[in-house]
Amino acid sequence: MNYISTRGQSAPVSAAQAIKQGIAPDGGLYMPESIPALTADTLKELCSLSYSERAAKIMSLFLTDYTYEELLSDCKEAYGDNFDGYAAPVVNVGGKARILELWHGPTCAFKDMALQIMPRLLSRALTKTGEERTALILVATSGDTGKAALEGYRDIDKIKISVYYPVNGVSRAQKLQMTTQEGANVNVCAINGNFDDAQNGVKKIFGDTDFAAELDKKGYFLSSANSINWGRLVPQTVYYISAWCDLYNKGDIAFGEKIDICVPTGNFGNILAAYIAKLMGLPVGRFICASNSNNVLTDFFKTGTYDRNRDFHVTISPSMDILISSNLERLLFLTAGAEKTRNYMVSLAKGGKYTLDAEDYGKITSEFVGYFTSEDECRDEIKSVFDEHSYLIDTHTAVAVSAADRYTAENSDASGKIVVASTASPYKFASSVAGALGLEICDDDAKVFETLSNHTGTKIPAQLSDVLTKEIRFKTVIDPADMKASVIDFIS
């Protein structure tokens, strides 16, 4: 199966090539030229398999230049001992929501689900494409991708990684996780600006052909670990299918029964991965796109206009503080095709906005609905879910649970069971979560962890308490304009 650009002006490439390159030469994102079908028989078979086997099977439908054996061996390593137990359990906490816990990996956020496997896919892609240069991964992060990528790529042969985060746009735990990262092939740098500044900086470097030539002379080429890379999305499609299987196995849903899916959304990668599962044939009703006060997507689904010209808010769910949701381009492509997608993107680049035509708007809103949650509502949701169900959720998950609640209230005839993606451990945003519960908070994370644990009877993840005592290795703060220089510095 070949991969084509959402903007239609690049040559088709293999899966290995798409994973290696990250972004297409015409500035578009790679998509499989067709979406493989998940037949009822295959779905039934998947239900009887382990998580790693499900992952290998589903990924092999997309990554046809990888063998099933290669994928299975990689998945067993990726989703084995580095997860604390089952990789993606679904928990029924009462009510209609089924919580899909995606944070049992090494960095306590759902990014691990993709970034534990993707370095293995890239490593194989280098061999498959006969690459002799070293891959240089540049990552812009709103906090969670950075750490998950550093952990996934550390000390992997023929790969180096440099991560850029907004200096005041990540939680204390997130910052510490990144600045204490170990590994000989890693670099971490704070940016004076917000996430979009960091992401734009990285995108600019990717589009700079002179710079690419300079890197090539030094024996490097650029690659990406952000969710613009197809290698990030395909492992994410897996857990929605796996969640459906687990609900079926538990007798919670009948074979063929539709679920709705609600996802706390930033770059639109995670929810797009869910939509791809539906296009494959997974029984899904609606997709509920949950946003925080950076509600550009809520407005998009309500009005058909995507308009990034608005104030940027720093919130207690920082991984969703994004005004340019890159993966929305893939939804446009799936809905409207390459030519119209290109036009929408030209208009976004020029004036910061575009408006869907009636046909595209109708198609998209038959699948997606958007809600946003204010900071106060988010805190209230954390408290009420804990008070009513003794279940602790983080700020991002709370935004989604709140959206799912409202969707249920407004659609009494809706199919019913909603799988809500829970994207981070509550300890990753411990101060905000403890504050929402009315607990005492302070600047000492160890204390906040303990308060939270004592009050809620939940366990402090060792991955997070460990970083509190580690040496800080990376202290540099730069302007977005100096990112290129920092890259050269890193590889020199």
Ligand X SMILES: *Cc1c(COP(=O)(O)O)cnc(C)c1O
For ligand X, which residue of 20, 111, 286, 342 counts as binding (CB under 6 A)? 111
Segment contacting ligand X by CB under 6 A, of 20-28, 33-41, 70-78, 263-271: 263-271
End-to-end CA distance of the chain: 38
Tokens matching residue 278: 């539906």
The reply to whether 449 sits near ligand X by the rule CB under 6 A is: no
For ligand X, which residue of 52, 292, 423, 451 counts as binding (CB under 6 A)? 423
For ligand X, which residue of 266, 370, 426, 480 counts as binding (CB under 6 A)? 266
Q: Do the beta carbons of residue 235 and residue 114 sit within 8 Å?
A: yes
Strand partners of residue 284: 259
Give the whole-angstrom CA distance, residue 433 versus residue 441: 10
Integer angstrom CA distances of residue 195 from 186, 314, 379: 20, 10, 23
Q: Closer to ligand X by CB, 102 or 126: give it.
A: 102
In whole angstroms, the minimum distance from the beta carbon of 233 to ligand X comes to: 9
Q: Closer to ligand X by CB, 10 or 373: give it.
A: 373
Segment contacting ligand X by CB under 6 A, of 69-77, 240-248, 262-270, 305-313: 262-270
For ligand X, which residue of 14, 270, 291, 463 counts as binding (CB under 6 A)? 270
Q: Closer to ligand X by CB, 66 or 195: give it.
A: 195
The reply to whether 107 sits near ligand X by the rule CB under 6 A is: no
Tokens matching residue 312: 């940027």
Q: Closer to ligand X by CB, 5 or 267: give it.
A: 267
Letter for the amino acid at 21? Q
Report 460-489 residues binding ligand X (CB under 6 A): none
The reply to whether 269 sits near ligand X by the rule CB under 6 A is: yes
Q: Closer to ligand X by CB, 18 or 272: give it.
A: 272
In whole angstroms, the minimum distance from the beta carbon of 197 to ligand X comes to: 16
Let me know if 158 is a catalytic residue. no
Segment contacting ligand X by CB under 6 A, of 195-203, 248-256, 268-276, 297-305: 268-276
Q: Which of 111, 128, 203, 258 is an active site residue?
A: 111
Give the number of other Cβ atoms within 10 Å of residue 370's Cβ.
21
Give the whole-angstrom CA distance, residue 234 versus residue 334: 15
Q: Report angle CA 485, 487, 488 to the nearest 5 degrees.
A: 65
Report 83-102 residues binding ligand X (CB under 6 A): none
Q: Do the beta carbons of residue 458 and residue 426 sit within 8 Å?
A: yes
The reply to whether 144 sits near ligand X by the rule CB under 6 A is: yes
Segment contacting ligand X by CB under 6 A, of 24-32, 128-136, 267-275, 450-458: 267-275
Q: Closer to ligand X by CB, 17 or 461: give it.
A: 461
In whole angstroms, the minimum distance from the beta carbon of 400 to ligand X comes to: 8
Report 284-343 residues binding ligand X (CB under 6 A): 319-320
Q: Closer to ligand X by CB, 109 or 276: give it.
A: 109
For residue 281, give every residue at least 6 positions away whose Cβ sits within 8 Å of its Cβ, in sequence order, or none. 37, 38, 39, 40, 43
Segment contacting ligand X by CB under 6 A, of 66-74, 265-273, 303-311, 344-352: 265-273
Q: Do the beta carbons of residue 325 and residue 408 sit within 8 Å?
A: no
Helical (H) or strand (E) element with 138: strand 134-140
In whole angstroms, the minimum distance from the beta carbon of 219 to ligand X comes to: 32
406 CA to centre of own chain: 24
Q: Do the beta carbons of residue 368 and residue 434 sit within 8 Å?
A: no
Q: Label residue 50 exposed, middle or buried (CB < 10 Å: 0-12, 13-18, 19+).
A: middle
The reply to whether 265 sits near ligand X by the rule CB under 6 A is: yes
Q: Closer to ligand X by CB, 290 or 356: give it.
A: 290
The reply to whether 373 sits near ligand X by the rule CB under 6 A is: no
The half-sphere exposure of 320 on its side-chain side, counting CA atoms within 13 A, is 34
The reply to whether 402 sits near ligand X by the rule CB under 6 A is: no
> How many positions of this chain bind ligand X (CB under 6 A)?
16
The reply to whether 185 sits near ligand X by the rule CB under 6 A is: no
Tokens matching residue 330: 């893939």
The reply to whether 227 sits near ligand X by the rule CB under 6 A is: yes
Tokens matching residue 35: 């979406």
Three-state SS sequence of 357-410: CHHHHHHHHHHEEEEECCHHHHHHHHHHHHHHHCCCCCHHHHHHHHHHHHHHHH
For residue 492, give every residue at least 6 positions away whose Cβ sits within 8 Å of its Cβ, in sequence order, or none. none
In whole angstroms, the minimum distance from the beta carbon of 478 to ligand X comes to: 23
DSSP 425-486: -GGGGHHHHHHHTT----S-HHHHHHHHHHHH-PPPPHHHHHGGGSPP----EE-GGGHHHH
Report 34-73 residues binding ligand X (CB under 6 A): none
Q: Closer to ligand X by CB, 268 or 333: give it.
A: 268
Segment contacting ligand X by CB under 6 A, of 49-57, 259-267, 296-304, 349-357: 259-267
Q: Closer to ligand X by CB, 14 or 227: give it.
A: 227
The reply to whether 268 sits near ligand X by the rule CB under 6 A is: yes
The reply to whether 224 sits near ligand X by the rule CB under 6 A is: no
DSSP, res 318: G
The reply to whether 424 sits near ligand X by the rule CB under 6 A is: yes
- Active-site residue set: 111
Q: Which residues bind ligand X (CB under 6 A)?
A: 109, 111, 144, 227, 264-270, 319-320, 396, 423-424
